[in-house]
Amino acid sequence: MYEFEFVRPGSVAEAIKALGEDEAQPLSGGQTLIPTLKQRLAMPSKLVSLTGIAEMQGITASGDGVSVGGATCHADVAADGTIPALSALAGGIGDPAVRNRGTIGGSLANNDPAACYPAAALGLGATIKTNKREIAADDYFVGLFETALDEGEIVTAVTFPKPEAANYQKFEQPASRFALVGVFVAKTGGGVRVAVTGASEGGVFRWSAAEEALAKDFSASALDGMAPDADGMMSDLHGTAAYRAHLVGVLTRRAVAAC
């Protein structure tokens, strides 16, 4: 790692001030950032830790949903259970040690194209709260490792509305435990949402053809023979674009059946 200064503020306001300086970068659970720094792929002059900020910790359930502080670790979300599909997803990220450090805000800010949380946020139609605004999940995910967040803007909380039914199916890349493909299906008052991670070159996306079919008939058989276009799907040594497109269909049918 290159050298950097480390600060651990106790409030969002102090963190934002510290992030205002050149080349400062936020550090949440660090389960992606620290390995990145070790490989010298990033060179921040200062790291601003977000793990000492009490107002960004914890989970608050209300009648119609759940709000998760940005610096809440995956293990805490896994243990919560207000939205079972969300907790199951959090409990399947990485391994136990990673789940004790990695945070929801860090995952959503990083927007890895194979991360699990983006699928939950987009699938449930979450609202991402930052230090300056609220962003609907539909407007938040911009592309590969790219979000609507501005420089120095941090995710302070994420609010998930409670669905009528939901399920997440993940086909694990067995070495990394990231999703080779992951599909989050949610049946909500506003319709059916199908969010796919791990597959597209553009990051997490909604599979609208499946949503339309499921709105008419919410059953796995409504998607018989369907798969998204393989154009624009990721292709690497773990799977071709056609393989991933096929998996999206399979996992979506499994998720619907498990709802």
* Matching residue, tokens 């001030």: 17
Q: Report the residue number, 34 or 215, with the smaller CB distance to other proteins.
A: 34
Our CB check for other proteins shows the closer of 27 and 234 to be 27
* 78 neighbors 91 (Cβ within 8 angstroms): yes
For other proteins, the binding residue among 68, 75, 185, 204 (CB under 8 A) is 75
Q: Computed from CA positions of residues 16, 20, 21, 23, in that sequence, does the dihedral angle turn out positive or negative?
A: positive
**Out of 13, 43, 54, 97, the residue judged to bind other proteins by CB under 8 A:** 97
> HSE (CB half, 13 Å, CA atoms) of 92?
22
Pick between residue 46 and residue 246 the one whose CB is nearest to other proteins: 46
Under the binding rule (CB under 8 A), the answer on residue 238 touching other proteins is no
Q: Is 54 in the site for other proteins (CB under 8 A)?
A: no
In this structure, the strands spanning 5-7 and 155-161 are unpaired
* Stretch near other proteins under the rule CB under 8 A, chosen from 26-34, 153-161, 184-192, 251-259: 26-34
What is the DSSP code string of 23-53?
TEEEESS-TTHHHHHHTT----SEEEE-TT-
Q: Can residue 47 be called a binding residue for other proteins (CB under 8 A)? A: yes
Distance CA 101, CA 34 (A): 12
Our finding on whether 177 is near other proteins (CB under 8 A) is: yes
Report the alpha-carbon distance of residue 137 to residue 123 in Å, rounded. 9
Closest contact distance (angstroms) between CB of 169 and other proteins is: 17
* Interacting residue ranges for other proteins, rule: CB under 8 A: 1-6, 8, 27, 30-31, 34-35, 37-38, 47, 49, 51, 75, 94-98, 100-101, 175, 177
